[in-house]
Structure 1
Amino acid sequence: MGKFTKWLGAGVGFTLGGPIGAIIGYALGSIIDGVSVQEYTKEQEEYHKRTEQRSRPRVEATSGDFEISLLILASVVIKADGNVDPRELEYVRKHFVKLYGKERANHAFKLFNGVIKKDISTRQVCIQIRQHMSHSSRLQLVHFLFGIAQADGLVRPSEEQAIQKIAGYLYISPGDYNSIKAMFYDETDAAYKILEIDKGVSNEEIKKAYRKMAKKYHPDRLQDTIGEEHKKVAKEKFQSIQDAYEKIKKERNFN
């Protein structure tokens, strides 16, 4: 258990307090009898000392915070249809292996198995996340959640509703939400939705929309503290925007 303890304590900041910290504590208790997050890691004790000494200090999200936020929100989406699908669980596991490597992913998934048993206040969790995570990083969270929902081949209405609710709590605009959603649906006008434009706009407006979206979703806009592993995955979303633009250019035959 020593390596697991080290993984949990490494690079974690804001998620060791508040409602997310309580969820982690519950998850740990389900893994190891009698263990709470306060007893399990010294980092949380230090977090509480800081919050007592200062008035709600700004703690920037780290790679570990992003990782734990993914775990918790993923559990909300997976349980949205009332069925924990093994394919969705496998998607989460594979994604974490891709992001962090096998050993770190195993630690994360061990915690996830405890998190998924807990009833979660989505609103409270999202409030805590948005206080510390940049808009670009929150967009990346929503993109990942759609990937989970689609892992079994179909984004069910209950799963989409859960993601939409999460997006609202994270202060993601309807336009941004629909743009990300369109990346996961094979619709005739999906390319236009991804660029957040109507099909009847001019070629110049399409070029302008592309430049705006490319800037908004560029991986470099993610917080530096989030970690290079998350920036690599953000390139997939960025590629979707480029592909949408190229598809429209081909349809309209313009450069």
Structure 2
Amino acid sequence: MIRWVGAILGYLLYRFPGAVIGFIVGTVIESFGKKDGGGFQNVFQQQKAEVTPADFELNLLSLASLVIKADGTVSQSELDFVRQYFVQSYGKERANATFKVFNEVIKKREVSAVNICNVLRQRMRYESRLQVLHFLFSIANADGVVTEIEVNEINKIGGFLGINFRDFESIKAMFFKNPDSAYKILEIERTATDADVKKAYREMAKKYHPDKLQHMDEAYQKGAEEKFRKVQEAYEQLQKERGF
């Protein structure tokens, strides 16, 4: 089809020589399209498939909705936390627009954590995906209690995001107080030596340093600061317990 369009356009511009050239160029374009699995049409589809900031916000809000509804009750404190987070991150007007689209369109459909996470996984750095996980735990904790059902839902989402088990357990431990929390935050066992503790602290401080999220919104950077602070607190706790 393209070769004949090229021939006609070429003829209108340069008569018979133009028709020949247009036919040849059209043939090359069609051939390219077959080899490339869709050619120029495929390029436009890829461009359209790119996630815009608005798409990201809707995806993040969709994941938040899964956590909020996980235990069968919709907590007002969790809803307020999410709204405040979005207003702080994107401004009141943009946040309201995101919630409006979500309520009018997305909320009426079944939210697919797998599809959303596949998109985010391809387009977000690992450090940023860790912050998404921290954000989801913060939502669950907004009412003062992180239930087992909520943990299971976040764990499932974390798996779809490609978060490894030790990192998941580290962030989870930031929201639970127990004798092993400090060790889990630093991703070490209770049997670790003092040297192991110091090494783990250096590695975790580097992993969760807020500078790694300078490209993200302010709310994300504050979340990174909170994780960084939890790592420091865990290390200081073990320093006191072990006396080094």
TM-score under structure 2 normalisation?
Answer: 0.75
Q: Distance in 2 between matches of 1:205 and 1:252?
A: 12
Amino acid at match of 1:161: N
Mean Cα deviation higher: 160-169 or 231-240: 231-240
Q: Distance in 2 between matches of 1:195 and 1:223?
A: 23
- Tell me the residue number matched to 2:115: 124
Distance 1:205 1:82, change over 3 A: same
Of 184, 200, 206 in structure 1, the residue corresponding to residue 175 of structure 2 is: 184
Amino acid at match of 2:109: K
For the residue of structure 1 that corresponds to 2:73, the secondary structure is coil
- Tell me the residue number matched to 1:98: 88
**1:77-92 matched pairs, under 5 angstroms:** 77-92=67-82
Mean Cα deviation higher: 229-238 or 147-156: 229-238
Distance 1:209 1:123, change over 3 A: same
Mean Cα deviation higher: 59-68 or 86-95: 59-68
Q: Distance in 2 between matches of 1:179 and 1:103?
A: 35
**Greater per-residue helix proportion:** 2
Q: Distance in 1 between matches of 2:225 and 2:147?
A: 26
- Tell me the residue number matched to 2:37: none
Distance 1:217 1:144, change over 3 A: same
Q: Distance in 1 between matches of 2:99 and 2:219?
A: 17
How many matched pairs?
204
- Tell me the residue number matched to 2:205: 214
Residue 110 of structure 1 pairs with residue 95 of structure 2: no
Distance 1:152 1:168, change over 3 A: same
- Tell me the residue number matched to 2:138: 147
For the residue of structure 1 that corresponds to 2:59, the secondary structure is helix
CA contact (8 A) 1:137 1:223 kept: no
CA contact (8 A) 2:209 2:228 kept: yes
Q: Distance in 2 between matches of 1:65 and 1:222?
A: 19
For the residue of structure 1 that corresponds to 2:123, the secondary structure is coil
CA contact (8 A) 1:62 1:227 kept: no
CA contact (8 A) 2:89 2:217 kept: no
- Tell me the residue number matched to 1:69: 59
Distance 1:239 1:165, change over 3 A: same
Superposed displacement of residue 100, structure 1: 3.1
Structure 2, unaligned runs of 5 or more: 1-39
Distance 1:205 1:152, change over 3 A: same
Structure of greater relative contact order (alpha carbons < 8 Å, 6+ residues apart): 1
Superposed displacement of residue 55, structure 1: 8.3
C-alpha RMSD of matched pairs (Å): 2.5
CA contact (8 A) 1:167 1:177 kept: yes
Q: Distance in 1 between matches of 2:54 and 2:214?
A: 13
Residue 253 of structure 1 pairs with residue 243 of structure 2: yes
Distance 1:51 1:251, change over 3 A: farther
Residue 194 of structure 1 pairs with residue 207 of structure 2: no
Amino acid at match of 1:245: Y
Superposed displacement of residue 188, structure 1: 1.6
Superposed displacement of residue 247, structure 1: 1.2
CA contact (8 A) 2:167 2:187 kept: yes
**Runs of 4+ more than 6 Å apart:** 59-62
Superposed displacement of residue 52, structure 1: 2.5
Distance 1:250 1:101, change over 3 A: farther
Superposed displacement of residue 171, structure 1: 0.7
Distance 1:250 1:76, change over 3 A: same
Superposed displacement of residue 128, structure 1: 1.2
